[in-house]
Amino acid sequence: MRGFGIASAAAALMATTSLFVSQAAVQNDVDPIVIKDSKFFYKSDGIQLGIAYQQDYQGGGNSSSSRSDNQYTDPLQIDNLKRDIPYLKQLMTNTIRVYAVDPDMDHQEAMSMLADAGITPARNDRLYARYTAVIDEMSKYSNTLGYFAGNEVSNQPNNTDASAFVKAAVRDSKAYIKKQGYRDIGVGYATNDGADTRENMANYFNCGEPENAVDFWSYNIYSWCGDSSFTESGYDVRTEEFSNYTVPVFFAEYGCNNEVTPRTFTDTPVLYGDKMNDVWSGGTVYMYFQEDNDYGLVRVDGNDVKPNQDFSNLASQFSKVSVTGTQMSAYNPTASPAECPEVSTSSWAAKATLPPTPNQELCSCMYNSLKCVVSSDVDQDNYGDLFSTVCGLGDGSQCDGINANATTGEYGAYSMCNSTEQMAFVLNQYYQAQDSSNKAVNGAGAASSETGGSGSNANSSGSFGGSSGAMTAIPSVEFGILPVAFMATVAAVSGFGMLLL
């Protein structure tokens, strides 16, 4: 299971960027998927299988998110798809999950190929500067199903404060999609199956105002191995837990990962059977490519594809699936959103109050108003040490304006600015506290320089931040998105309706 850490999450939210909006359109549109309460439906006819598809990108366990943008290869490339689509069709696939794409690439031909084959992609990006670019690029295609705002960010009680930042990313993604006038495309989250966090996680992302909550919820679950059962695997308990959830739920990753090989996938007919089909919208098998983690369905060598025993076993189990869909017109659920979990020192650390939305105008105005900023000669890799030094001086109040505390729900007005803007803010605060002494700031280990700023408090941006960075008003929504994962949908294949797998 792919994860990314709180440091990456916070850094992503702090970053700001300008937007580039493309108006290109895909030529061969397919029937888009819409969400009604806890179900996915095709828009035109109201009818309600899948593979994780990304090479050289490890999953099946928690990982850090330190990889840089150029350390992955966009899997949605024409030659790759020509090679792999025939095998995906053998598995009756109509959804793929893609974890990272290059938003600067043109995906029109790739998405058209997937649409023609009846397949759905998904992927995720790390940097804020790419989040809106991913949405701009993929919203052009009618077979884009949705975006993941994060994957296993909070996976144990002591890092659940990170969920406030991810939920803010959900809010900001949805607001950006609406602001740009794109069709309604869901924004959700993929969580791990952790006994200590799963109930609070599901409730937290579902509670509160609809514009802040997820549009779908997905589960990375590996509890069914070999000849397990509906009850032995815990699938029965998970199904009961989500029986009244108000948005679609599905398995974002599934398939045994405890070194039982070959994997039999005997849970697949159950997932699509009477015991689970009313609650779950299918699942995505982990994974297509054979990697070092040994969870692949095929081995790829150049243009040669060799299916392994897992592939045959999965195809056999898919052949047993017979899905009965639900007509959208006949679907009228009565469930209500969950209550937000209470903050607890032992189990939950995120208050319902969310961080402010990144506001480039505010941050730029603040930065341009400063008398003292960090020198461009200071390496950004050293910012962490510099923050620790400056924020440890005196009573530390110089850093109040950039602090973010998800547990108390308190966020400085500039807590969503990028690290350079924040570094400049705290240096300027300390500089002013020391009677504008360059010696004092340089003594803190930072080269500083005069900017010629007017010393204003960024009030031209709406009086959001005072001179200390205290929040004096809530910034209006502009944009700001955590690592986004993307999902695309396409027409059904082999007579199956659209199922997230």
User: What is the spatial distance between Cα 153 and Cα 163, in angstroms, rounded to a whole number?
Assistant: 7
| C-alpha triplet 264, 270, 97: angle, nearest 5° | 70
Structure confidence at residue 263 (pLDDT): 95
Confidence of residue 89 (pLDDT cuts 50, 70, 90): confident
pLDDT, residue 265, reads 97
Burial level of 429, CB count in 10 A (0-12/13-18/19+)? buried
Is residue 67 predicted with pLDDT exceeding 50?
A: no
Q: Are 392 and 333 in contact (CB under 8 A)?
A: no
Highest mean pLDDT among 255-264, 302-311, 324-333: 302-311
- In 3-state terms, what secondary structure has residue 342? coil
431 pLDDT above the threshold of 80: yes
Burial (CB count <10 Å: 0-12, 13-18, 19+), residue 14: buried
Residue whose pair of structure tokens reads 């402010």 in the numeric block: 356
| Helices (H), ranges, 91-161 | 108-117, 128-138
Contact between residue 356 and residue 413 where contact means Cβ atoms under 8 Å apart: yes
Identify the pLDDT of residue 378. Answer: 86
CATH topology of domain 360-461: Methane Monooxygenase Hydroxylase; Chain G, domain 1 (1.20.58)
Q: What is the pLDDT of residues 210-237, one digit of tens each?
A: 999 999 999 999 999 999 999 999 999 9
106-139 pLDDT, tens per residue?
A: 888 888 888 787 664 432 223 455 678 889 988 9
How would you write 417-461 as a 3-class SS string? CCHHHHHHHHHHHHHHHCCCCHHHHHHCCCCEEECCCCCCCCHHH
Q: Which residues pair with 413 in a beta bridge?
A: none
- % pLDDT > 90, the chain: 41
Q: Quick one: pLDDT at residue 437?
A: 65
The rounded mean pLDDT for the chain is 77
Rounded Cα distance between 301 and 160, Å, is 41
- What number is the average pLDDT over the span 84-112? 83
Per-residue model confidence as pLDDT tens digits over 453-474:
544 444 333 344 555 565 433 3
Max mean pLDDT range (259-263, 338-342, 403-407): 338-342
Is the per-residue pLDDT at 176 higher than 60?
yes
- The one-letter amino acid code at 449 reads S
More confident residue, 13 or 53: 53
Indicate the pLDDT class of residue 480, thresholds 50, 70 and 90. very low
The full set of domain ranges for the chain reads 30-37+86-340+481-488, 360-461
Residue count of the chain, please give it.
501
Summarised one tens digit per residue, pLDDT across range 368-416 is 999 888 888 888 888 888 888 889 888 889 999 999 999 999 999 999 8
Greatest mean pLDDT among 108-112, 199-203, 329-333, 488-492 lies in 199-203
pLDDT on residue 467: 56
Q: What is the DSSP string of 44-110?
A: TT-B--EEE--TT---SS-------GGGS--S--HHHHHHHHHHHHHTT--EEEES---TTS--HHH
Report the C-alpha gap between 243 and 206 in whole angstroms: 14
Specify the pLDDT at position 30: 61
- Per the CB < 8 A criterion, the answer to whether 383 and 10 are in contact is no
Active site residues: 152, 253
30-37+86-340+481-488 folds as TIM Barrel (3.20.20)
* Predicted local distance difference test score (pLDDT) of residue 143: 81
Residue 443 has pLDDT above 70, yes or no: no
Please state the pTM of the whole predicted model. 0.78
| For residue 208, pLDDT beyond 90 | yes
Spatial separation of the C-alpha atoms in residues 452 and 425, rounded to whole Å: 14
378 closest CA partner among 437, 453, 449, 440 = 449
pLDDT-based confidence at residue 22 (cuts at 50, 70, 90): very low
Give me the pLDDT at residue 19, please: 20
Identify the three-state secondary structure at position 138.
helix
Per-residue pLDDT at 461: 38
pLDDT given at position 189 = 94
Q: Locate all alpha helices (DSSP H) within 139-292, ordered by sequence.
A: 162-179, 198-206, 235-241, 268-271
pLDDT(425) > 90 = yes
Looking at residues 284-309, what average pLDDT do you find?
A: 92
